[in-house]
A and B are shown apart, each in its own frame.
Chain A
């Protein structure tokens, strides 16, 4: 279990407990957090679960796999700290993770 905080673009904080093994994307979708579309359902094929991870956490996360950076080319306003939330798998170590959701996904 990890407490994950999703900050939507209108600055609303949503903190929820997400089960280990789920992705940060699934945590958002299952809890109706707005702003994560996840059109492809977690297949790293659409770039519509794009989030920004703050610097402190960004370096702690397992590195991006091949293909994630390619998909991020297509995301809406990608930045240095962009990730696809379907590729971040929740574990106890991620307790306290905070991600910002962009204005839109495309």
Chain B
């Protein structure tokens, strides 16, 4: 197995993780970034890409997506390696280094691990009916990898956003589709909503609004699902698959097992290096806590800048870190690939 060696590994590609990477590269350290989402930006891109933010210093107004794109632009000169759709599962000490493993089997060896994980990793929200676990990844799914498995089968889709609606439209071509949603209004794009209603009228999709899953049945294999509405009326739908599209939720996940001091889903750090109780593991952004902590993006930037300086000591034990300004330092300008005056 190939070992990826780096001066610092950043967990989380949200705004704090991205700016921390910028700070590391600026002072001459290399780094790589791991994130469980399939895209860069963390909560900014997953929770509020279109919502305006008004408290980024010197940026009067920008959306979550714009902020993310600006941060990506800012680190462009550095060519940083991202490992998306990977979740860090294990962090273990080996000599002076941390050995970090992801759920994809990628392994890193690094003296510095910076956790910029927000409230944890984004995972799909699941059905509240507990028995669904028995069928999970077989006939109860929260994402689709191979749509051919649904051909000529009955698929029951739950949800009212674009994922649920898009898949209902797509799968209705080759499968019998039930679409179940808790209310009459859908929050997907209007054109998609119209199309769904059209297909429902033409009996190509069976639409059940104001219903939610109440029970799931089957011995070994999924046979049927009971749905119930607010007036306690129940219907039984025979189905081969149940798909849930309820968006993502943040789970602290494996971070809880790395021997860190955790209180209320946040990691305790000092305010000099933003180091945790484990030497060489730092926490920055929403996931860290210390007296006076403010959960603002701007705090994450400050925390990342200081954690990056702390990384220097462990990554370059025989060198002395020298503070320099981007306005005047030739070395920094070289790293950025800009001309010096």
Smallest CB-CB separation from A73: which chain B residue? B160
Size of interface on A: residues with Cβ below 8 Å to B: 20
Residues of A within 8 A of B47 (CB): 40, 43, 45-46
B230 with A80: CB separation less than 8 A? yes
0/1 string, A37-53, CB within 8 A of B gives 1: 10111010111100000
Residues of A within 8 A of B159 (CB): 73
Which of B119, B125, B250 contacts A74 (CB under 8 A)?
A: B125
0/1 string, A12-50, CB within 8 A of B gives 1: 000000000000000000000000010111010111100
Residues of B within 8 A of A73 (CB): 159-161, 181-183, 187, 246-247
Q: Which residues of B contact A (CB under 8 A)?
A: 43, 47-48, 51, 119, 125-126, 128, 159-161, 181-183, 185, 187, 212, 230, 246-247, 249-250, 265, 286, 295
Contact sample, A vs B, 24 pairs, CB 8 Å cutoff: A37-B265, A39-B249, A40-B43, A40-B119, A41-B295, A43-B48, A43-B51, A45-B43, A45-B47, A45-B48, A46-B250, A47-B247, A69-B183, A70-B161, A70-B187, A73-B161, A73-B182, A73-B183, A73-B187, A77-B128, A78-B182, A78-B212, A80-B230, A106-B125
C-alpha spacing A1/B220, complex, angstroms: 55
C-alpha spacing A23/B212, complex, angstroms: 29
C-alpha spacing A106/B124, complex, angstroms: 9
B180 vs chain A, min Cβ distance (A)? 12
A58 at the interface (CB under 8 A from B): no
A9 at the interface (CB under 8 A from B): no
Residues of A within 8 A of B250 (CB): 39, 46
C-alpha spacing A80/B295, complex, angstroms: 32
